[in-house]
Amino acid sequence: MSSSEQTIAVTGASGTVGRLLSARLSDAGARQRLIGRSPDRLPELAGAVRTEPASFADKAAMRAAFTGARTAFLVSAHESANRVEEHKAAVDAAAEAGVERLVYLSFLAAAPDATFTFARDHWHTEQYIRASGLRFTFLRDSFYLAMFAGMTGEDGVIRGPGGDGKVAAIAHEDIAESAARVLLDGEVHDGHTYDLTGPAAIDFPEAAAILSRFTGRTIEYVPETREEAYASRASYGAADWELDGWVSSYEAIATGEMHVVSEAVAKLTGRAPQDLATYLERNPDNYAHLR
């Protein structure tokens, strides 16, 4: 069966990566089942069916949404205290619905003892998929390039315990294009894990300098200790697991775990991934709040 004749289920199709991915699959002529919690937010695309509302925690709804697809793109659920269990329910629902192959959007350096606490969720999900008997491909993306502006406060300061570590952050578009190629190319990618990164690793001062150039104001990076990081975020009223995720995202950069530069995007898509300057030039809305 050719890629254009397959039906591919895309979870999280109303999110940034999901929308970009589903558009690329539509352009390639693939039939799709677009899955999300709010069908009215799902894109309207040729060859795509918008399924009934389905969230990972609702196994019956997910099973119905997957029915008719043999390949599925599984984006990670929103961060939560029980995200791994939600992922397991989605994997089970896919298998019960007849899905044979999963392409899972994981995270760079996923490991049971990863510094970034949310990356541990991805490792446990990968292990569950491996044990499921389904064919699989793991796409381990780095942090998003969009994070640099998102981490910048209204005062123009990036604060966090990132030390002098570097990260090869990646654009949503490059993840979507890579995922589209893996989904469409089929079994050649079975059993593979791809690290998806930007073209070069940069540190926070370098990112601040690039942001300064595009925003027209001075953006700077102020390192924090772990204690200072928790204290500066205490007023948000977030749960402990969420605070741990925020703080450890910087710490994972400081440890060097994110200092990974991969050629996977270029090999999968045939073009180089975007760097931060290119991303900001193409996405001015990303930093509009800083101007």
Q: Tens of pLDDT along 226-246? A: 999 999 999 999 999 999 999
CB neighbours of residue 150 within 10 Å: 11
> Under DSSP, is residue 160 helix (H, G, I), strand (E, B) or coil?
strand
CA distance 209 to 203: 10
Half-sphere exposure of 257 (CA within 13 A, CB side): 24
Name which of 184, 18, 12 is nearest 101 in CA terms. Answer: 184
Query: Which domain does 18 fall in, by range?
Result: 7-141+171-196+261-273
CA distance 60 to 67: 11
CATH code of 181's domain: 3.40.50.720
* Position 96 in a domain: yes
* Position 123 in a domain: yes
List 141's β-bridge partners, or say none. Answer: 107, 196
What's the structural domain count of the chain? Answer: 1
The tokens 């996977």 sit on which residue?
Answer: 264
* Position 176 in a domain: yes
* Position 1 in a domain: no
Residues of the chain with pLDDT under 50: 1-4
Model pTM?
Answer: 0.95
* Position 24 in a domain: yes
Q: According to the model, what pLDDT value does residue 2 have?
A: 42
* Position 47 in a domain: yes
CA end-to-end span of the chain: 50
* Position 243 in a domain: no
- Two structure tokens written together for 225: 């200790």
* Position 234 in a domain: no
Q: According to the model, what pLDDT value does residue 21 have?
A: 98
